[in-house]
């Protein structure tokens, strides 16, 4: 099986590559080729005996998506995106990458399909940012999409493209609306949600962390381990039961910032919590204030998608996977 990962240099892309190499198969099929692309050249996963092609590619540049599609991957994981705060600050860049890049990929697949019947499985990472206020405290699967950010709008538009290209038979697509992935390892990114990870990751490493929003802010979270599990599961199951509704909200944990801090206190003590500094940021508060608090992801759970059930579990996953089990 040949698998392509677009956005392979990012944290999720790297972890997905490593998981595929460790498993050696996907959906019962041996993985013997990986095509890894990003705007910077991705690293090659260690221990893979098959063929790896890694290159720097911007799929929003004309002709670049066709290069990837020309290798005819069986499964394409489309992870590439400009994150929320950056997409809000740079309107043209956000639409160029998040929408036009996605459409360029789908169009390249459509043209290949017209040429020789090529029809890959496409797993698209959407976001819970497709929902916006006013909304209930717990959002059901059939709630309408009313994004209040450019990022959420770009993801919602891409979901519609995914559904239409699937309906027309060009791709077999599934969109997974990721919760905020927490605790993200490594350095902070430009996502407005970055502080959710920062107030856990930095104190666990003995470093100060900035909290730009009130403790009352509540949000929907899942660990990187769960996010990878979502992607693997999405590419392994029969997608026909999705029908025309091709995008699913993933399970997760609803936690307030205050509950996050209490979970940190219970695991790492007061010394860790004392490293959190409150510095209000109006832009971040404006973006995050319109985000969803909790979901009832019944479609996803009925199809076997699973995540953590408490925020303490999420912290312990970070300690196990990133800190060698010790703090």
pLDDT at 44: 92
The answer as to whether 237 is a domain residue is yes
Report CA dihedral (275, 281, 287, 289) to the nearest 10 degrees: 70
CB proximity list for 320: less than 8 A, separation 6 or greater: none
Which residues are annotated as catalytic? 151
Structural domain count of the chain: 2
Query: Is the domain of 160 the same as that of 260?
Result: no
pTM: 0.95
Closest CA to 195 of 178, 208, 205: 208
The answer as to whether 94 is a domain residue is yes
pLDDT at 158: 98
Closest CA to 288 of 240, 245, 256: 256
Query: Is the domain of 99 the same as that of 120?
Result: yes
pLDDT tens digit sequence for 102-128: 999 999 999 999 999 999 999 999 999
The answer as to whether 187 is a domain residue is no
Query: Is the domain of 231 the same as that of 317?
Result: no
Whichever domain contains 88, its CATH number is 3.40.50.720
Query: Is the domain of 114 the same as that of 126?
Result: yes
Confidence class for position 210, pLDDT limits 50, 70, 90: very high
Whichever domain contains 265, its CATH number is 3.90.25.10
Q: Does 49 have pLDDT greater than 90?
A: yes
Query: Is the domain of 91 the same as that of 205?
Result: no
Query: Is the domain of 46 the same as that of 149?
Result: yes
The answer as to whether 281 is a domain residue is yes
Find the angle CA(278)-CA(190)-CA(136) to the nearest 5 degrees: 70
The answer as to whether 168 is a domain residue is yes
The answer as to whether 185 is a domain residue is no
pLDDT at 20: 98
Query: Is the domain of 43 the same as that of 116?
Result: yes
The answer as to whether 121 is a domain residue is yes
Q: Does 233 have pLDDT greater than 90?
A: yes
pLDDT at 291: 83
Closest CA to 233 of 218, 219, 222, 220: 222
Query: Is the domain of 84 the same as that of 206?
Result: no
**Distance separating alpha carbons of residues 153 and 147, to the nearest angstrom:** 5
pLDDT tens digit sequence for 21-44: 999 999 999 999 999 999 999 999
Query: Is the domain of 159 the same as that of 286?
Result: no
Domain encompassing residue 271: 194-219+253-295+304-322
The answer as to whether 288 is a domain residue is yes
């Amino acid at each position: 099986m040949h698998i392509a990962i677009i956005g392979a240099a990012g944290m999720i892309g790297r972890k997905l590559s490593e998981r595929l190499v460790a498993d050696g198969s996907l959906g019962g099929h041996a993985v013997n080729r990986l095509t890894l692309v990003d705007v910077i050249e991705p690293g090659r996963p260690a221990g893979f005996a098959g063929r790896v092609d890694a290159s720097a590619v911007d799929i929003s540049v004309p002709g670049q998506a066709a290069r990837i599609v020309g290798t005819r991957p069986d499964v394409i994981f489309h992870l590439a995106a400009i994150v929320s705060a950056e997409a809000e600050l740079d309107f043209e860049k956000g639409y160029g990458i998040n929408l036009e890049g996605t459409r360029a990929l789908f169009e390249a697949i459509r043209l290949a399909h017209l040429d020789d019947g090529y029809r890959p499985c496409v797993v698209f990472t959407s976001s819970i940012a497709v929902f916006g206020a006013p909304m209930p405290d717990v959002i059901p699967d059939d709630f309408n999409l009313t994004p209040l950010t450019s990022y959420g709008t770009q993801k919602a538009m891409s979901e519609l493209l995914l559904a239409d290209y699937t309906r027309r038979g060009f791709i077999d697509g599934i969109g997974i609306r990721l919760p905020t992935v927490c605790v993200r390892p490594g350095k902070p990114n430009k996502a407005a949600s970055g502080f959710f990870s920062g107030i856990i990751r930095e104190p666990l490493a003995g470093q100060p962390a900035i909290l730009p929003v009130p403790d009352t802010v509540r949000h929907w979270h899942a660990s990187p381990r769960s996010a990878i599990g979502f992607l693997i599961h999405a590419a392994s199951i029969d997608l026909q039961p999705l029908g025309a509704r091709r995008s699913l909200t993933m399970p997760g944990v609803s936690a307030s910032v205050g509950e996050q801090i209490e979970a940190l206190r219970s695991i790492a003590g007061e010394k860790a919590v004392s490293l959190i500094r409150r510095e209000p940021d109006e832009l971040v508060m404006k973006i995050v204030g319109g985000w969803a608090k909790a979901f009832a992801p019944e479609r996803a759970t009925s199809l076997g998608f699973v995540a953590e059930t408490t925020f303490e579990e999420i912290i312990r996953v970070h300690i196990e996977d990133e800190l060698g089990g010790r703090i």
